[in-house]
Amino acid sequence: MKTSERRVTGFTLTEILVVCAVSATFLATAIMLFTNFRQGYSRSENVAVLMQESALFLARLRTDLNNAVLSGPSADFLRQIQAAPDQLSFNVYSSRHGRIQPVVYNYAALPDGGRLSRREANEGERVLIKDHVASLTWQVQLERFATPGSGTFRIGLAIDLQLKASLGKEKPFAIKTTIFPARLNRQLNSR
């Protein structure tokens, strides 16, 4: 009676195969890219975070050293910046308090990544980098040039910093530089 009107719902085998093939290709590509992306993302993120932390730390230290002043007896002026493996200290002029006060940077080396913190005068200690420091060395570099007259001094702080992410086996982010406090040097040379 109505046999010619019957539709058959369903997929043919060909259709399914084609769809599977296409979607498989698609999904495979997508997954591969995704994995790559995720890896790349986490790597970039780690590097980016480490880079930002080191940049902020160096900028903070640079600003502090730009504000560094000579204070105390003039015989000690060449030892104004004191650097020990775990501590860096010097004096700055704080316009907020209108006086010269000490600034101390503390480095605590820990097996899973060290910690870097800063303290100004009697205020609380603020952590700058937490658990990311693979190694840190800072060294006061005092140069003396034999220029006519009594010679010229130049003080710099050589920093070698390596940061690494908490987990992962990537290479650590390393930065090595020397910071020269210009105003301090100018004062030193005009004594």
Partner 1 sequence: MPDNFIKPSLRTRGFAIMIALIIGTVLLILAVSLYSFVGHQHSGMQTIVNGEVAHFLAEAGINSSIGAVRASIARSFAGDGGKRLSELLLKPGVFADVCINDMLDPTWNKDLETFAREVDKEASIRVDVWLRDFEFAETDVSVWADPVARQGFLVIEATGGFKNSKRKIAIKRRVSVASILPGVLAKFTAFVSDAARRNEDSFNLIRNDYRGMITDGPRPLMFYNHATPDAPFEAGNMADIIKDEKLADVWQRRGWIWLGGRRVRLNLCSGAGDLGEIFHFYDVSNPNVFSPVKFVTPATELPPAFSAPVRIPWDKSNESIRQVSYSFGHSFVIDGFHDRSSRLETDAMYEGNILSAGEKNHYSSKSSILHLYGDARRGYQSRTRIFGQVYAAFIRFANLEVKPEETDVAAMFTAANPPPLYLLRSIPEKAYNNSVDILEVGRRSVGGPLLKSGMLCKTYSEYAQLMSRVVEYPYIEAYNSMQDVYDARPGRTFPSSAGLFKADSSSQVELQRGSHVFFQGRPSAESVVQLISGRVQFEIDSVGEFWEKYLNQQGELELNSIVRIRNPRGIDMQIPPVGKAQPLVVKGGGAIVLENGNMVLRGIRCSSPDQALTLVLRGSGSVSFASTQPNHVNLIAPEAELAYGSKFEIFGTLCVGSVYADHRFQGGTVRYRTGQDPTTPGYDKFYRVFIDPQDSYWNE
Partner 2 sequence: MNRSHRTGLSLIEIVLSMGILSLIMLPVFMTFSSGNINIQVTESEFRAHTAALELMEQIISLPFKLIKAGEYDSGQIIEGRSFAGSPVIFRVSDNPDLKPALKIEEIKRENKVVFKKITVTIAYPSARASDRMRDFTLKTLVANEDI
Question: How far is residue 95's CA from residue 100's CA, in Å, rounded to a whole number?
Answer: 9
Helix, strand, coil shares of the chain, percent, nearest 5, are 35, 35, 25
Segment interacting with partner 1 (CB under 8 A) among 74-82, 122-130, 157-165, 179-187: 179-187
**Which is nearest to 69 in space by CA: 154, 191, 189, 188?**
188
Q: What residues from 91 to 130 belong to the interface with partner 2 (CB under 8 A)? A: none
The string over 149-188, giving b where at least 16 C-beta atoms fall within 10 Å of a residue's C-beta and e elsewhere, is: eeeeeebbbebebbbbbeeeeeebbeeeeebebeebbeeb
Nearer to partner 1, 11 or 109 (CB): 11
Per partner kind, with CB cut-offs from 5 to 8 A, the member of partner 2, partner 1, none near residue 137 is none
Nearer to partner 2, 38 or 97 (CB): 38
187 touching partner 1, by CB under 8 A: yes
**Which is nearest to 68 in space by CA: 144, 175, 157?**
157
**Cβ within 8 Å of residue 136, ≥6 positions away:** 107, 109, 114, 116, 159, 160, 161, 162
Q: What residues from 59 to 78 belong to the interface with partner 1 (CB under 8 A)? A: 59, 62-63, 66-67, 69
Per partner kind, with CB cut-offs from 5 to 8 A, the member of partner 2, partner 1, none near residue 36 is partner 2
Nearer to partner 2, 9 or 122 (CB): 9
Per partner kind, with CB cut-offs from 5 to 8 A, the member of partner 2, partner 1, none near residue 122 is none
Q: Return residues touching partner 2 (CB under 8 A).
A: 5, 7-11, 15, 19, 22, 26, 33, 36-37, 40-41, 43-44, 47-48, 51, 55, 58, 62, 141, 143, 145-147, 152, 154-156, 158, 173, 175-182, 185-186, 189-190
